[in-house]
Structure 1
Amino acid sequence: MKKLGAALLTTLLVAAPLAQAKLSVNVGLINVNPSDTASALDQDKGAGLVADSNTQLGITFDYQYTDNIVFELIAATPFSHDVSGSGNLTGVGAIGGVHLASVKHLPPTFVAQYHFLEPNAKFRPFIGAGLNYTVFFDEEASSTLKTVLGTDDVKVELDSSFGVALQAGFNYSINEKWALHGMVSKMDINTDASVYANGAKVLTSDVELDPVVAMLGVKYKF
């Protein structure tokens, strides 16, 4: 089976003339909406973490390999999320909706797409699948979390994440150069979060963001 798959891929690469490849760029608003299911704290399963959604400028680059196969790189300006509590934290009480930390991240994603209908069709839907790599930075503990932990020396760290991405979308041609572009992706983004107080690790959680990522913008074909 592996040899057959490799043979089919090799045939595809050889059969598609590079001279027919076309480049395009999509620019618009892109929203990352994490799962609303709270990720439990390892030390206290009665309490959890939830991240809010955020919208940024999205930029995606398309490489049209054949009439139906397109490779896309999804990029954006850094996303910023507020992390809030959920449930009840032992010794503290209800922390639902309480702002605990802020974090930024970049989730570059590479997908292979299959575009339906004829190449000259005005409306062309597509589906795709690929890989996502998310790096977190600028993690900051809130004043509330510092108060709960009884110190100003509080650090929050989130590990980088690597996972799959599934996608569906469309392009609607306006003219030879311009089109409307829309897509929705489901991304597997899981990270290990750690909170340190006075240098000691006090809280940990396997945070499952698993966001829905949606973009609407314009496409320019080179």
Structure 2
Amino acid sequence: MQQKFAVVSKIAALSLFACFAAPVMAQSAGSVVVNAGWAHITPNDSSTALTFTQPALGAIPGSGAGVSRTETLGISVNYFYTDNLAFTADLGVPPTYKLHGEGTLAAAGEIGTAKQWAPTGLVKYFFGDAKAKLRPYLGGGVTYVRYSDVELSTKFQQIIGAKFGTPAAVTTADLSSGFAPVITGGISYEITPQWYAGVSLSYVKLKTDANLTTLATKVGTVKSNTTLTLDPLVAFASIGYRF
């Protein structure tokens, strides 16, 4: 009996030792790594002139709009299909953009704000071995962008309304939704077999159409529009956990 117990004890001890001695495959096939961190968004912005289409009065010469930098909390879920190939879903708290007048609209200052929703799907290729502590990667994918809580400043609404003899006219705006391509690159560093630090830089090729509606009592409904180019660079610093 004692001999049997001794044999079982040795087998159990050897099994336990093997578990600790086996190499931990960090970012390997089947791994799920969730990152959370801070995203800094820098638009490379430009716009077309604000153009009145109803009535067809044409563009306001020299008018334009710009988009300010913004920040938000980002979340990235990475599933390693192989040791090198990962599928990623990028989510997070929708950032709020501030729009400001440029050119002949510069006097308006801040002309509006909008919240952006942009869930993103990416395919990433991680270089090096799954057990390497430092792994650079490149990737690409697509995002679907839509906007909510679009609000125009009182001063900007007054400027538009005054052109039609109704300074108190109410102007609302709608920003178009759509898909946009994304390219990304970054580095993942293994702190422990479960914890990671990551930095990345992504570029989004993004435009949106802003369609404005003004209710001017003297001339009725006024329609105008402009196209905003954002093309943002998104810098993301994060901490990740492997499940």
Paired position in structure 1 for 2:6: none
Distance 2:222 2:232 in 1: 27
Distance 1:47 1:152 in 2: 20
Say if 2:79 is the partner of 1:63: yes
Distance 2:152 2:91 in 1: 27
Aligned residue identity for 1:135: R
Please tell me whether Structure 1 or Structure 2 has the larger radius of gyration of its CA atoms. Answer: 2
Distance 2:147 2:192 in 1: 39
Per the TM alignment, residue 201 of structure 1 is displaced from its structure 2 partner at its CA by 4.0
Paired position in structure 1 for 2:144: 133
Q: How does 1:53-202 map to 2 (within 5 A)?
A: 53-89=69-105, 95=106, 98-149=109-160, 150-198=167-215, 200-202=221-223
Which deviations, in whole Å up to 9, do the C-alpha atoms of 1:33-73 show, x marking residues without a partner?
A: 11143443342351111111111110010010101101111
Distance 1:182 1:71 in 2: 17
Single out whichever of 141-150 and 62-71 deviates more from structure 2.
Answer: 141-150
Shift in alpha-carbon separation, 1:206–1:148, aligned structure 2, 3 A: same
Paired position in structure 2 for 1:207: 228
Aligned residue identity for 1:31: H
Q: Which runs of 5+ in 1 are unaligned?
A: 1-18, 90-94
Distance 1:131 1:64 in 2: 18
Do 1:131 and 1:164's aligned partners in 2 also have CA atoms closer than 8 Å? yes
Per the TM alignment, residue 96 of structure 1 is displaced from its structure 2 partner at its CA by 5.8
Do 2:114 and 2:148's aligned partners in 1 also have CA atoms closer than 8 Å? yes
Do 1:132 and 1:188's aligned partners in 2 also have CA atoms closer than 8 Å? no
Work out which of the residue numbers 33, 53, 64 in structure 1 matches 2:42.
33
RMSD: 1.7
Query: What percent of counterpart residues are identical?
Result: 28
- Point out 4+ residue stretches in structure 1 off by more than 3 angstroms: 36-40
SS in structure 2 at match of 1:145: helix
Do 1:39 and 1:50's aligned partners in 2 also have CA atoms closer than 8 Å? no
Q: How many pairs does the alignment contain?
A: 199
